[in-house]
Every structure is written in C-alpha cells, then in structure tokens.
Amino acid sequence: MINMREVGREEHHTPFGALIVDDEDDIRLLVRLAIQRWNRGLFVAAEVDDGETALDRIENADPAIVVLDQMMPGIDGLETATRILELRPHQPIVLFSAYLDPAIERQAAEIGIARCVHKRDLSSLPSILYGLLSPS
Amino acid sequence: MRLRKRGLVARLVLAVVVAGTLSAALGALLLHWTARSTLRAEVVQRSSLVAHELAIRLYGRVANDLDTLQMVAATHAVTQLVPEAAAELRTVLRTSATYDELVLFDVRGRPVTAAANAFAAETVDYAGRPDIADQATAGGYVGLGDAFPPDLEMAVPVENPPGTAVGFLLARLPLELLAAGIQQHDLRTGTTSFLVDGAGTVLVHPERDRMVDRERFPLEQLTDGHAGTTIVVGVNRLIAASAPLEAFGGAVVLTQDERIALQPVSRRLLDLGAILGVVLVTTMLAVSLAGGWLLRPLGQLLEAVHRLGRGERGVRVGRSGTGEIALLAGEFDRMAETLDRRDAQLTELQRLSLLVNAAVDCDGLTDDLVRGARSLLQSEAAAFVALRDDGPAVTAVGTVLDAPLVQELVEVSTNGAAHVSAVPDGQALSVPVTTLTGATLGVLTTVRRAGDFTDEEVRLATAFAAFAGVALDNARRLELEQALVNELQESVERRRMLIGGVSHEFRTPLTCIAGFSSELQERWDELASDERELLLAKIHQHADELDHLVTQLLEFAATERGRTSTTISVVRLADIVQQEIASLAPLLAGRPVSVTVPHTEVLADPRMLRGVLNNLISNAVKYSLPGTPITIHAEHSGDAIRIDVRDEGIGMSPAEIQLAFEPFWRAPAARGERGTGLGLALVAEYVRAMGGMLRATSEPGKGSTFSFTLRARVREAQP
C-alpha cells in the first residue's frame, strides 16, 4: 500500500469529505492525488475497494460526496449507488467509470446519481465534485 | 421358348375344333331353317285348299238342306198356314234327322205351328221372328240362332199361290251336325278344323269344352282375308288356314300343330343334330380330356397372370398340370414370389426413406438404418460398424458382434464390395457404406441364421448401403453445420466479450499511465524523489501489463486462426522453470516459492512452455493472498513428466473448474485483478500443441493445482 503524504489542505475552505470506491488500488491513488492537488476544501474521507464495504462504512465516514467505480467485483457501481441512496437519499454520488454509454448514464440518472464522469477525465474530477457541493 | 410353342399349338388345335363344330352347327341350322320355311309354305297352301274344300262341302250340305226345306214348304197343309200342318212337319222330321225343329210362320213372322225332333235337346220357345220375316219371305234366309252354341237357322218362303208369300218355314239344325264332315276330315289328317262366325267366335270345335266360352279365333291375323298363315294360339304354334262360309258370314278354320306339320324336316334336323352331337361330344371329350392336364392349368395360369397384372399380391398357381405346364406353373410361382418379395422390399425401402429423411441426428439415423437393413433382408440381426477416428463404433440390433467379426467387417469395408461370410450362427452379408464421394463411413452387416443370401439380396443390400451412405453423410453434414453454427455463435459471443471485457482491461492501465505521468509532469518539483520513482515504477508496471494483454490477445488470435507454429525441441525443464520464476520475481515478492523439478529433458516448444508456466504462476499469484506459498513440482509419470503449479488461494468450485479453460472466462472471485480471461485458454492450447495433457484440481478456500504433462526425452539405450 502506497501512502502519499497529505498536501495543500487549505483551512479557509469548508472541508468536504469524499468516499472513493474502486477495486483498482492505483485508480484510488490517482483520485486521491487529484483531489489533493486541487486543494480547495476536498479531502479523502475513506477509500474502499468494493460496494459492500462502501455500504458498511458510509455511515461512519459520512462523506459529502461518493466517487464510485462501475465495474467492480461483487455488486457493481449502479447497485451500490441504489443501496447507498436507500440509506442516504440525498447523498451526492459521482459514477466514475472507464466505460460509460447512454444506457448506463440513463440508468444512473434514474437511480439518482448526480453525475457520470469518464475515467479519462480524471483531471477535471475535483472541480466537478466541488461544483456539485457548492451550488453557487 | 419350347413351353411357349407347345402352349400355342394347344390353343390352335382347340380353336380349330371349336370353329369346325360351330360352323357345322351353323350350316345344319341354316339347312334346317331353309327346309322348314319351304315346307311351311307348302303346308299353308295345302291347308288353305283343304279349308276351301271343307267350306264348299259345307255349302253343298246347306244348299241340299234348303232344297229339302223348300219341298216341305210346298206341301199343302203348310201352304195353308194351318196348325194341322204340324203333322206333316213331324213326318218330315221323322224321315230326316237333319233338322232339330221346323216352325211355320206367317208373313209377319208370327208362329203358326211347329214340330220338334224327339232328340232335340231342349224345348224351343216359339217366339215370333219378325226380324227375319222380310228376308225369309223374299227369298230365303240362312243364319245363326241366338243361343250358344248357336244352331243354324234356315228359312224358305211359303207361297200360296206360287209367287205370293204368305209365310215362311224355318228349320233349325245344329252346327255340329253340319260340321260332322269336317271332323271326319280331321280324324283322317290330324288337323283341327272348326267353324267361326264373322267375328271369329269359335262356333263348333272338336273339343267341346272350348264351346262354353265364346273363344275368339284371331281371324284378322290370317293374311289376305282368310288365307293361311302361321299364327300362335295359346302355347302352340299353329299353321292355320281358313275359307269363308257365305251361308252365315263365318268361316271354316283349319289348323295344325306346326311341330307336327313340319315333322319331316324336324326329323332330318334330329338326324343332323345327332351327327353334330356326336361331333360335339367327341370334341367335348377331347377338350375335357386335354383340359384335365392342358387347358385347366393354362386357364389357371392365365387367371393368375391377369391377377398379378392387376397388382394383386400373393398370387400362386400351385402344383398344376403335368410336364411343361407344371414347369410353367412352377416358374410362374417363383416369379410371383420374387415379385412379392420385391414389392415388400420396395415398400420397406420407401418406408425407410421416409424414416431416414425424417432423421436429423446421426445416432437416430444409424438406429433406423440398422433396423431397416434387418427387416429389408429378413435377417435375425443387423449391425452398423461406424469407422471413426477413435476406432470402430458398433450399433446393433438382434445380436452383439464379437471383436474378431468387427475387425473382419472393417477389413471388408476397405475392399469396397459386398461380402458374404460364414459366422458362427449363420451367414453375414456385409456391405461398405460410403459417401457419394467414396469416403467410407462404415460397414452395414446383417446376419441370417437360416438360408443363404441370394445374389439379388446382395444387390439390394448394396443399393441400401448406398442409400444409407447418402443419408448418413447428409445427417453428418447437418450435424457439422449445426456444430459450425454453434461455434460461430460462440465465436461471436467471444468477440463481444473481448470488446466489452478487454477494452476495460486496457482502460485501467492506460488511465493509470496517463494519470501518473500527468501527476509527474505537473508536480515534479513538489514531489520527493522517492515519490517520483514510485510513480515512474507504476507507469512501467502498467505499461508491462498492457504489453502482456496485447501479447495474450495476439497469441490467442493466432491459436484461433490455427497459426501457431509449434517447434518442439529438447529442453531442460528445470532451466525453463528457473528462468520463468526469475522473470516473475516482482510478482512473487514476499511469497515462499517451492520448486522441486528434476534435471530432466523434455520435448517441448520453449516459447510455449514459458507461456504455460508464466500464465499458471501469474494465475496462482492472482488468486491467492499475498504471502501465501506457491509450489512448483515436477515428476516422472510413465514416459511423461507431470508438472504441478499449486497455490493456497481461493480455489474453484467444480463448476468453475469446468469453465476455467474457456476463453474470456474469469473467476467471479477475482478481486481487483485484471486479465483477459485468456490465460488458461492459452495454457490449454499450448499444452495440447505440445502433445500433453492438462487438468485442474481445486477446493474452494484451500487452493488450486494445475497439472500438465510433457513428453520426457527417451534416452537411447547404450549399445
């Protein structure tokens, strides 16, 4: 396990915790690095590698936003999102997937997922997350 | 051919005899008919003459009686018209028995006096006769009385003085008496003569009974008035002739039985008939004598041929006639039997063709063919020995073929011709079954315990085998086509999974490479050198991963297209294993790896062997927890080497083991492990290409062992 030191957290921003759910260690690392680099009140509240674990830990982590992979062993992203929203109906969720098509995006919208982001747009992920959390 | 000639001669003789007899009979009949008509004409003419003679004779009698009566009328007392005249009349009656009665009338027809014959049958009512008064007083009257049978009445005028009629004298006489002369004639000549009135009513007939009824003789049938001709009265044909009787407007009719009249001719006919009869009887005797052994069997044969021609089955003549006829009958029966058998076989063939056309799978078809061959060739047992790559496969009904026989049949099939051989319990007829292109599919055999197979049956079996070959070939093609379709569908499904699954596997390393390189680019100065090295190592790792994926895909594509070339060489197994473990060292870091491989040489393609080991070891790492041991063990197993790669990981269920070697299949338990799902499929392909075997044993939760074999190099024995 690679531990990157915390960098650039700015105190004047209201901190928002993010829950990262992805079975790929390096993807989680990249998301964390991107959030740290963006450095505007976002931090990684927790990282888990599958949907079941996310459901177990979401109440304790109490994230402001969930970054959710679609293709994972066990329950997939859409199923995980459905069950998270049953527990926390107003939970903002971003589906972060390497494979998105109109069918999945439509399903995501129906479930109540706030946004779908392709993994190739990793660099714009932090601003999208922040935009969702600050309606201004 | 001889038989046929004899049949023709027999028929010709018969025809001549029949024709001769028929023409003789016809000639006789013609002669008879001519003689008969001539004689009839003669008889009619003679009868007519006789009738006229009789009529004249009758007329003479009547005229004679009238003369007598006129003399009586001239007597004194009568001319006075006094009752005393009766005495004179009675005197007349006594002297002449001709009249039954004499009556004296006045000029108006009123009776004056009368006298009756003592023999008169009945008392006469002396009624007045004004009806005939005028005629009788004018010149005389002859007519018939009202009674039946009637009397002849004749009247003459009574004149006083002469020339002046004062009354008339009437005499009644029975017609019978008048006709007595006719009857005497009849007695002499055998004819039947009688009197009729103008309407044809029979008045006097020799048979008295006939006179009770007013029988009417059909006078109008006699041509030219009352001339003679043949008429039919009752049941008898009569030759009749008549002559008119002017006296009372009637006629004399003379009849005779035609048979009697023409008897002389008939007698001649009888003679002729006798001769003909002799001829006929002789002929019939000859025919019936010949018929016993010649015609009857021929007739039966003809009938049988006719029935056979109509499509009837089961027609037999049986033992019939003698000599050639019997031979012919025998030949016919054999032919009919053959026809029946062929007919049954044809029906069976048709049934089979329907059955076979309906069959869609080779196994069902084979069963049908074997059963069909057994019934078609009326055998106790039948079998089909299919020649397959993995040895002969026997489908049998009725018996189980033993191995030597199967071997014999297989040999027969290579000769390409039908073959009859003796088997322990009878005869076996074997025919090779080939496709249209000549490829041998197997041998069809039927075993018969009683009776030999005929040449015809051998030909039938050959024809059936040809038919079976086409049918089997078709079914096989159908199965192959179905298999091909299934394979294509699977292939399409694999492609779909490849695109869906593999693109995802590519996406992750690409995302990582792009992400880490971007991180390095943008935060190079912020990052510590170890952090930079870590990110660079990660980029390298993901690039390797991509390379591995691409390599696997290309390899798999090559095996699918059949383009893998195998280069078997002698390799030292231990060396290859060590090299591969070394190349996988980063992956195996932190794990105890146990390697026990003997220093032995194997026959293998080095590239493929490395591929096998790489995939099996990577797999073991992927599906087991970090730090758990991995064991690589090899040992001799016969003339092969078995290599085991064992992990203590999550293991697989029996169902998962079944799927493990399928391309693109990935264990659902794989967590965060990428892969194409092609690794084990490639392993299977490589092991097969090197002539080895591959198997997996596993227990969920305890780990899996993948074992494959390679041929060990056999060291040549030292001389």
pLDDT one-digit tens code per residue, A106-118: 999 999 999 999 9
Residue B20, SS3 per DSSP: helix
Considering CB atoms only, which of B511, B522, B671 is closest to A98? B511
Task: Please name the residue of chain A whose CA is at the shortest distance from the CA of residue B514.
Answer: A120
Mean pLDDT of the B62-90 span: 81
Check B507 against A119: CB less than 8 A apart. yes
Looking at residue B221, its pLDDT comes to 66
Q: Is the pLDDT of residue B202 over 50?
A: yes
Q: Which two tokens stand for residue B319?
A: 């033992």
Q: Which residue has the higher pLDDT, B477 or B309?
A: B477
Contact B712, B640 (CB under 8 A): yes
Instruction: For chain B, give the mean pLDDT.
Output: 79
C-alpha to C-alpha distance for B473 and B464, rounded to whole angstroms: 14
Looking at residue B268, its pLDDT comes to 63
The mean-pLDDT minimum among B17-26, B64-73, B534-543 falls in B17-26
C-alpha to C-alpha distance for B424 and B335, rounded to whole angstroms: 32
Task: Please name the residue of chain A whose CA is at the shortest distance from the CA of residue B526.
Answer: A7
**B339-347 — which CB contacts under 8 Å span 24+ positions?**
B339/B308, B339/B313, B340/B313, B340/B314, B343/B313, B345/B376, B345/B460
pTM of the model: 0.42
Percent of chain B with pLDDT over 90: 13
Q: Is the pLDDT of residue B229 over 80?
A: no
Crossing angle for the helix pair B362-376 and B323-358, nearest 10 degrees? 170
Choose among A112, A124, B672, A55: nearest CA to A19.
Answer: A55
Beta bridge partners of B448: B427
Residues of B in contact with A23 (CB under 8 A): 671-672
Residue type for position A56:
D
Residues of A in contact with B531 (CB under 8 A): 4
Contact B399, B381 (CB under 8 A): yes
Biggest alpha carbon–alpha carbon distance for chain B: 208
What CA dihedral angle connects B449, B454, B458 and B461, to 10 degrees? -60
ipTM: 0.82
Check B518 against A98: CB less than 8 A apart. no
Contacts of B74 (CB under 8 A, 6+ apart): B159
Contacts of B372 (CB under 8 A, 6+ apart): B348, B351, B352, B355, B356, B464
Check B507 against A4: CB less than 8 A apart. no
Mutate to test the interface with A, among B508, B516, B517 (most CBs of A within 10 A): B508
The mean-pLDDT minimum among B142-156, B270-284, B515-529 falls in B270-284
Check B508 against A27: CB less than 8 A apart. yes
* Per-residue pLDDT tens over the stretch B80-107: 888 888 888 887 777 665 777 888 898 8
Considering CB atoms only, which of A50, A99, A120 is closest to B504? A99
C-alpha to C-alpha distance for B22 and B696, rounded to whole angstroms: 106
* Per-residue pLDDT tens over the stretch B673-695: 666 778 888 899 899 889 899 99
pLDDT bucket at B717, cuts 50 / 70 / 90: very low
Contact B174, B124 (CB under 8 A): no
Residues of B in contact with A120 (CB under 8 A): 511, 514
A 18-77: CB under 8 A from B = 23-27, 30, 33-34, 37, 49-50, 71, 73
| Alpha-carbon separation of residue B351 from B33, B38, B345, B473, B532 (angstroms) | 69, 77, 10, 19, 84
Residues of chain A with confidence (pLDDT) below 70: 1-14, 135-136
- Please tell me the distance in Å from B510's CA to the nearest CA on chain A: 9
Residue type for position B401:
L
Looking at residue A11, its pLDDT comes to 45
Mutate to test the interface with B, among A25, A30, A99, A101 (most CBs of B within 10 A): A30
Looking at residue B85, its pLDDT comes to 83
Task: Please name the residue of chain A whose CA is at the shortest distance from the CA of residue B517.
Answer: A30
Q: Of the spans A63-72, B284-293, B345-354, which averages the highest pLDDT?
A: A63-72
Q: Is the pLDDT of residue B305 over 60?
A: yes
Percent of chain B with pLDDT over 70: 83
Check A23 against B512: CB less than 8 A apart. no
Looking at residue B62, its pLDDT comes to 80
CA B664 to chain centre: 64
Contacts of B703 (CB under 8 A, 6+ apart): B624, B628, B646, B647, B648, B649, B650, B651
- Please tell me the distance in Å from A99's CA to the nearest CA on chain B: 7
* Per-residue pLDDT tens over the stretch B617-652: 988 998 888 899 999 999 998 889 999 999 998 888
Considering CB atoms only, which of A23, A30, A50 is closest to B515? A30
pLDDT bucket at B120, cuts 50 / 70 / 90: low
Looking at residue B266, its pLDDT comes to 63
Using a 10 angstrom Cβ sphere, with 0-12 exposed, 13-18 middle and 19 or more buried, the burial of residue B250 is buried
* Gyration radius of chain A over CA positions: 14
Looking at residue B254, its pLDDT comes to 79
Task: Please name the residue of chain B whose CA is at the shortest distance from the CA of residue A73.
Answer: B671
Q: Of the spans B141-155, B355-369, B609-623, B676-690, which averages the highest pLDDT?
A: B609-623
Looking at residue B6, its pLDDT comes to 64
C-alpha to C-alpha distance for B5 and A115, rounded to whole angstroms: 111
pLDDT bucket at B718, cuts 50 / 70 / 90: very low
C-alpha to C-alpha distance for B211 and B204, rounded to whole angstroms: 7
Q: Which two tokens stand for residue B137?
A: 């007083």
Task: Please name the residue of chain B whose CA is at the shortest distance from the CA of residue A37.
Answer: B523
